[in-house]
Amino acid sequence: MAKQNSIDFSKFKSEQELAQERIVALKDQINQARTDYYEKDAPTLSDAAYDSLERELRELEEKFPQFKTADSPTQTVGGSATTAFSPATHQVKMYSLDNAMDTAELKAWLTRTHDAIESAFDAKTANATKYCCELKIDGASIALTYEQGILTRAATRGDGQTGEDITQNALQIADIPKKLNLDNPPQIIEVRGEVYMPKQSFEQLNKQIDQQNAEIQEENDRIDAQNLNKRKLAPKKKFANCRNAASGSLRQKEPSITKQRNLATFIYAAAKYTDIPQESNITTQHSFVGWLKDAGFSTNPNIRTLSNANEVIDFCNMALEMRNSLPYDIDGAVIKVDNLEIQNALGFTSKAPRWAIAFKFPPEEKSTILREIALQVGRTGVITPVAVFEPTSIDGSIVSKATLHNFEEIMRKDVRIGDTVIIHKAGDVIPEVVGVIQDLRPADVKEYNAPRNCPCCGSLLHEDGAYLRCDNFDCPDQLQNRLEHFVSRGAMDIDGAGKKIIQKLVEEKLITKLSDFYHLRKEILPDSIGKDKTKENLIASIEGSKSQPFDCVLFALGIRQVGKTTATLIAKHFKNIDALINANFDELCEIEGVGDVGALSIKAFFELPRNLELIESLRQAGLNFEIDESQAKPQTLAGLTFVLTGSLQNFDRNAAQDALKEYGAKCSGSVSKKTSYVIAGENAGSKLTKAQELGVPVLSEEDLERILRTGQI
Ligand code: AMP
Ligand code: ZN
């Protein structure tokens, strides 16, 4: 009734206007629902309600195509938010860069380039050649295509030939122009650059993940405490550095997440274009970057055109000095022949332009004050000294501990608590203490004395080469570490037995040796380890571990010198534990990767009655002590050697190598003439170059996937 008296304003709007409003509202709703579902893991709509919204939006867009935009939720691949990216073939290959690891290599490249220019042109041209120097941004490569000035495609580098179509995500990056700022845009242009995550956003993101993990933990505890029938959430992984964060955020399946990640870009080149240079009279890399800036791209201001080796080297040093104060990560400088015509004449190798080189920073070192030398007791009783210092950022990650290897090393380097020490970290390796700055040693600092007793059980330590060792087999730290090793992924894979649960089981004396796991029953587990669900989960994963194959069991035993790879080789060779126990020294030495030391250690292990008893009780528990031949893969890759390089998107490198080995392949860490295939992931570096130089065939991650599926090249 009231309705009849009031004016219905919607009558004054056209059907079109109403549709436009509705489309905007639907998009917001759907995007919000996707964020809640994918990012917060807290769905706010039922699947059916979500689908009906999407359907309504699609119908409206069909009726009013003028309101259909590239960033509409209906436009994500297949109309579904979970579909992976479609491949984006690059019209012009996306190259990597050759590296100069130090100034000598850089000078050598400058000389080589000078000579190449001289022979392509003449001495005068070579002498007058200038170099455009830029920062090497540590992020992920991106290629952006504009047609008539409108962004139509964004792609990752992928293997250089084919990347992933990430247009929807690129639309969410604030500084990527959706439309070029040009009156007469080229018909088509593809620009290239680096997507990065500013250091501040990176820190924020990891902080946020910490917070979310705390919430997840709280919720999981609640599920446990109240015995709720609800799915528990796994904690989220933090990003190791800005580069991983950038590349992970760029490849989100949900564009709204990319948007929240605060990514930014620096664009530095164009690959395919029509009618720009002539019109704008661009003849150099430097002026091209200026043109890109005018067109609306974000370009890096630290760019210089320099004329000789000394100036170029100064630039690299300046970049190194700037590194820590920049708001984004850089991992070097890029030196390019400035003149585009000369660039053209020099051309490309199969991997990289001949006219450019990346000067890579040396691995980072930091000085800090040594606060403490902590002592860790490993599962075999070796005591490892660990340097503890104020948290400091090295190579993009925060570190507060570094290994000192062993006590001989501490003596040799004369490391003392209170000393200023130099910490070194390169890539993903464990940071280490490289030395001490003696001049900064305070007067009252005392010489470091190696411990005489085990920091855990107090037993007198015994010297074993460079190492100190606790010989007490029942030393609690050793037991804890042996148990943690036993349940770990490549071993028995008992994922219900976390560190804390093991601690409790040891405290309660329910476990004093490895085989005790298999005597646990739910009824005897104390409430201190958790609620019913936790107990059931533990028992179930112990039960499940009985099907782990022989090589995993062998690895789980924790024999000194027997890592996962060696365990697999031994298992393959001897096929069952009895043959291994009875093997003599020479037979053991024959196995690849074992050697004298390994053979001695294996013999010593099986000579101890305690270990034979352990094996007997594990065997009775039903563990596999022989190879299951029926599960063995055909040895179709026998005789082939693979080298994996670069970062693989869907595989852990070790796991990929293990999987190849199951087909009989060998894997090596370096490329040589004997290498059969190199498998190159993203950002592959020197190994890829080497392969190309030697003519070793290079395969992609896709090839790897196929090989592992079929066992065939
Ligand atoms: P690499 O990652 O070692 O293969 O080095 C090549 C990559 O460096 C390129 O694919 C780009 O993504 C990246 N890069 C970062 N900054 C620059 C720059 N100023 N010029 C060219 N490439 C750059
Ligand atoms: Zn001890």
Per-chain mean pLDDT for the chain: 88
Which ranges constitute the DSSP H helices of 304-446? Answer: 309-322, 340-346, 407-413
Lowest mean pLDDT among 167-171, 201-205, 253-257: 253-257
The pocket around ligand 1, CB under 6 angstroms, is made up of 96-97, 134, 136-137, 141, 157, 194, 268, 334, 358, 683, 685
pLDDT of 295 above 80: yes
pLDDT of 446 above 90: yes
Ligand 1 atom 11: residue of nearest CA: 141
241-254: average pLDDT: 88
Nearest ligand to the CA of 375 is: 2
Ligand 1 atom 17: residue of nearest CA: 136
Give the tens place of pLDDT for each residue, 558-585: 998 888 888 988 998 999 999 999 999 9
pLDDT classification of 712: cutoffs 50, 70, 90: confident
Return the best residue to mutate from 136, 265, 350 for the ligand 1 pocket (most ligand atoms within 8 A of CB).
Answer: 136
Nearest ligand to the CA of 299 is: 1
pLDDT of 9 above 70: no
- The single-letter code of the amino acid at 1 is M
pLDDT of 485 above 60: yes
Instruction: Concatenate the DSSP letters of all residues of 652-674 into one string.
Output: -HHHHHHHHHHTT-EEESS--TT
pLDDT classification of 539: cutoffs 50, 70, 90: very high
Q: How many CB atoms lie within 10 A of CB 584?
A: 9
pLDDT of 81 above 50: no
CA-based torsion, 148, 152, 157, 159: positive or negative: negative
Nearest ligand to the CA of 469 is: 2
Write down the pLDDT at residue 93: 87
Return the half-sphere exposure (C-beta side, CA atoms, 13 A cut-off) of residue 205: 26
pLDDT of 1 above 50: no
Judged on CB neighbours under 10 Å (0-12, 13-18, 19+), 22 is: middle
CA of 460 to the centre of ligand 2 (A): 8
CA of 136 to the centre of ligand 2 (A): 49
Write down the pLDDT at residue 171: 95
pLDDT of 79 above 50: no
CA of 611 to the centre of ligand 2 (A): 19
Most trustworthy range by pLDDT among 16-25, 58-67, 157-166, 495-504: 495-504
pLDDT of 393 above 70: yes
619-647: average pLDDT: 88
Lowest mean pLDDT among 8-12, 509-513, 522-526: 8-12
505-527: average pLDDT: 94
Q: 438 versus 375: which is more confidently predicted?
A: 375
CA of 564 to the centre of ligand 2 (A): 25
Give the tens place of pLDDT for each residue, 345-369: 999 887 789 999 999 888 778 889 9
CA of 405 to the centre of ligand 2 (A): 18
Ligand 1 atom 7: residue of nearest CA: 96
Q: Report the run of H or E that residue 259 belongs to, with start and end.
A: helix 255-260
| Atom of ligand 1 minimally distant from the CA of 157 | 10
Return the best residue to mutate from 93, 96, 359 for the ligand 1 pocket (most ligand atoms within 8 A of CB).
Answer: 96
Write down the pLDDT at residue 2: 39
Write down the pLDDT at residue 83: 39
Q: 150 versus 68: which is more confidently predicted?
A: 150
Write down the pLDDT at residue 82: 31
Ligand 1 atom 16: residue of nearest CA: 136
Percent of the chain residues past pLDDT 70, beyond the cut: 93
Write down the pLDDT at residue 525: 94
pLDDT of 102 above 70: yes
| Atom of ligand 1 minimally distant from the CA of 95 | 10
Return the best residue to mutate from 93, 94, 141, 298 for the ligand 1 pocket (most ligand atoms within 8 A of CB).
Answer: 141
Q: Report the run of H or E that residue 208 belongs to, with start and end.
A: helix 199-225
Write down the pLDDT at residue 4: 43
The side-by-side arrangement of strands in the sheet containing 188-196 is 150-156, 140-147, 188-196, 264-273
CA distance 109 to 358: 10
- The single-letter code of the amino acid at 244 is N
Ligand 1 atom 4: residue of nearest CA: 96
Ligand 1 atom 12: residue of nearest CA: 141
Q: 710 versus 389: which is more confidently predicted?
A: 389
390-404: average pLDDT: 82
Write down the pLDDT at residue 609: 94
pLDDT of 34 above 90: no
Write down the pLDDT at residue 688: 87
pLDDT of 320 above 70: yes
241: helix, strand or coil = coil
pLDDT classification of 484: cutoffs 50, 70, 90: very high
pLDDT of 42 above 70: no
Nearest ligand to the CA of 357 is: 1
Both ends of the chain: CA-CA distance in Å?
76
596-623: average pLDDT: 94
263: helix, strand or coil = coil
β-pairing verdict for 356-360 and 87-89? unpaired
CA distance 563 to 557: 10
Strand intervals (E) in 69-219: 87-89, 99-100, 131-137, 140-147, 150-156, 162-164, 188-196
CA of 387 to the centre of ligand 2 (A): 20
| Atom of ligand 1 minimally distant from the CA of 336 | 20
651-665: average pLDDT: 84
Return the half-sphere exposure (C-beta side, CA atoms, 13 A cut-off) of residue 139: 26
Ligand 1 atom 9: residue of nearest CA: 96
pLDDT of 164 above 60: yes
Provide the Cα torsion 641, 643, 649, 650; round to 10°: 30
Return the best residue to mutate from 95, 134, 161, 194 for the ligand 1 pocket (most ligand atoms within 8 A of CB).
Answer: 194
Nearest ligand to the CA of 476 is: 2
CA of 469 to the centre of ligand 2 (A): 8
pLDDT classification of 51: cutoffs 50, 70, 90: confident
Residues assigned a catalytic role: 136
pLDDT classification of 549: cutoffs 50, 70, 90: very high
Write down the pLDDT at residue 275: 58
Q: 235 versus 296: which is more confidently predicted?
A: 296
- The single-letter code of the amino acid at 355 is W
CA of 63 to the centre of ligand 1 (A): 44
Q: Tell if the pTM clears 0.75, that is, is over it.
A: no
| Atom of ligand 1 minimally distant from the CA of 99 | 3
Instruction: Assess contact for 588 and 598: CB atoms under 8 A.
Output: yes
pLDDT of 41 above 70: no
Ligand 1 atom 14: residue of nearest CA: 136
